[in-house]
Chain A
Amino acid sequence: MAAKIVICDDDQGILDLLDLVLSEEGYQTIAESNSLNVDGIISRETPDLLVLDLWMPVLSGDQVLHNLRNNTATKDLPVIVISASGDGQTIAMKAGANDFLAKPFDLELLLGRVKAMLNAA
């Protein structure tokens, strides 16, 4: 069965792109632009991986990550953070991300990292 990936980014362009690329690759994807909904989606869908943006309105990516890590059900969920912010990597790693990719990223690189992370899990 194909791995299930939740994608969360407030930018619809990136969200559509990632949705397209990852589903083309054969993964089962759930794309969400509102970070407030991520918690609910994850507990309902129990995905294998989360691809998460950092700078989002109301609830930022690192806050989402922080909440996930404090929840026993999701504390080990693999998370790849993507961000265009200069200090994104530092923030992401501090919040407990498993991997980080700076925007704009190379699609091949992203797919490689996703695959690696799913294999490791």
Chain B
Amino acid sequence: MDSLTNGEFNFSNDTLKQDFELLTKALDASLSGIIITDNQQPDNPIIYCNRAFEQITGYKRSEVIGHNCRFLQQDDRDQRARAQLREAIDQGADLVVDIRNYKKDGSLFWNELYMSPIRDTQGQVNYFIGVQNDVTRRKQAEDEIKGNQTKMEGRIEERTRSLKENEEYLASIVQTVRESLIVLSPDLKVLSVNDHFIHIFKVSREETEGKNLYDLGNGQWNIPELRKLLELILPTNNPVTDFEVAHDFPHIGKKLMLLNAHRIELEGQYKDRILIAIEDITDRRAIEQRKDDFLSIASHELKTPLTTIKGYVQIINRLIANYQDEKLKNAVGKTSLYVERLNSLIGELLDVSRIQSGKIELHQEPFDFDEMVAEAVDSLRQGSRSHEINVTGHTDSQVTGDESHIIQVVTNLLSNAVKYSPGQPSIQVHLSVVSDYVKLAVTDQGVGIPRDEQDKIFERFYRVGDTQQRFPGMGIGLYICAQIIRNHEGTLWVESEPGKGSTFSFTLPINQTREGGNDGR
């Protein structure tokens, strides 16, 4: 060690051998493979390798010395690193390069090669020193990272594309719906509207989007009801549906709108945005109104001549009181019966119109349910000798409601039972109390109703399939019945099997005032 002073070797003749051995040991102790090639000899052969080089490559020293380094590349000659190496050797420059090398057993290892030329005093490159580090693991990790990165990029791309697709998909839905849609920021600025909005309210996108809702079109959207919805109702009742707003717009006229409003509560960039869907029901309401008016006028116009007919039939009845002609009396009797039937049909038409417009008036009086049913059954028995009506059970209950309407329901169910069971004379009426409800069931053994028609028969003007030819009717009786029962907080339903008969049942609350039972629905 005496030759190592101030960090440098002091090669003297005395210590040369000792120093050389020391250096060789130091080189062998290195974990990096080290080789020296002799550039003065043809093909730049390896003249030295340390132990680590043997360990890294798997070649013995004897298999290395004298060879050009390229044997480490085996057949893998088309590497970019090789060209860099060639260039550096030609120019006698330093180089650090990662190169694919192969061990003796053929397995790949990534070699981080540091190559440095050694020059003589004339600057001629005599030797190259090569330092090898096996960086396969690092390389693999790098590749893995790179692979992951590529994969990640791919995934991000995929996600971006799918987001874009979703956005386009949603946008196309928004543009296709036949309702106007507005998206508002929390401070009620219009963020976007759909094409339908532009079309219905005859505005341009430019004069709409980005503006405060209340400032749109000279303040034509500054509607008190809308302000109430947005500022008072929506903050505490989200979402709001079927909110009716009527407004007279300067250019497009009176509009009746049904609004659904939804404030986005989800945390994130859309929080507190407000979506408003607007359905223009102006025309629909106008048509409904016209239909109601028509029914009302039609029934009035039909009843007027009927009044005269009924009056003259009564006069005839009086005139023939002393006649003995039974045939004549019978004919006049039939005439008055059918005048009454015509009158009640016209009445039903008017009822439909009034139910539709919510104008039906209900009297609220307690009445004896069993007596009411008996009365209805009696009047039916008089009118129909073809059927036998049997009443079983009793309720012994008072029901509060409009007796004239309820008796209309019972009469309708009974006459339906008679009408739809030709040749099946037995009709059962059963009265019972179920919990705090009275229940009435009318059972016939008639034609019955197919399962898929059973809900529809309670709809307005609905007639089951081919019934019309055999059993003419307007299809409003059951609709009226169902509405009346519903107005009395009860339910009306049917159980039936085609060819076997039907049972129509309804329930009504026992002696309950409507104030108690009506929850506003």
Contact = CB atoms under 8 A, between A and B. Distances in A.
Nearest to A10: B304
Contacts of B354: 86
A107 B353 CA distance: 28
Interface stretch (A37-45, A62-70, A98-106): A98-106
Interface in A87-104: 87, 103-104
Given A55-B300, A84-B299, A104 B315 contact: no
B300 A85 contact: yes
A103 B304 CA distance: 7
B303 A104 contact: yes
Contacts of B296: 85-86
A11 B314 CA distance: 19
Interface stretch (A12-20, A28-36, A73-81, A113-121): A12-20
Contact of B310 (A20, A55, A104): A104
Contacts of B327: none
Nearest to A11: B304
Nearest to B305: A13
B359 A104 contact: no
B330 interface: no
Contacts of B299: 84, 86
Contacts of B343: 104
Nearest to B312: A17
B314 A106 contact: yes
Interface footprint category on B: 20 to 34
B340 to A, nearest CB: 9
B308 interface: yes
A108 B354 CA distance: 29
B314 A103 contact: no
B422 interface: no
B308 A17 contact: yes
B315 A21 contact: yes
B308 A13 contact: yes
Contacts of B315: 17, 20-21, 107
Contacts of B118: none
B307 A84 contact: yes
B312 A104 contact: no
A17 B300 contact: no
B350 interface: yes
Contact of A103 (B303, B312, B339, B353): B303
A105 B307 CA distance: 7
Contacts of A11: 304-305, 307-308
Nearest to B343: A104
A104 B307 contact: yes
B457 interface: no
A85 B300 CA distance: 6
B482 interface: no
B383 interface: no
B345 interface: no
B85 interface: no
Which of B300, B309, B350 is most buried by chain A, counting CB atoms within 10 A of its CB?
Answer: B300
B47 interface: no
Contacts of A108: 314
Given A84-B299, A86-B299, A87-B359, A104 B311 contact: yes
Nearest to A103: B307
Interface string B335-346: 000010001000
Given A13-B305, A106-B314, 11 more contacts: A14-B304, A16-B308, A17-B311, A17-B312, A17-B315, A18-B311, A84-B299, A84-B304, A86-B300, A103-B303, A104-B309
25 contacts: A11-B304, A13-B304, A13-B308, A14-B304, A17-B307, A17-B308, A17-B315, A20-B315, A21-B315, A55-B300, A82-B307, A84-B299, A84-B303, A84-B304, A85-B296, A85-B300, A86-B296, A86-B299, A86-B353, A103-B307, A104-B306, A104-B343, A105-B310, A107-B311, A107-B315
Interface of A: 11, 13-14, 16-18, 20-21, 55, 82, 84-87, 103-108
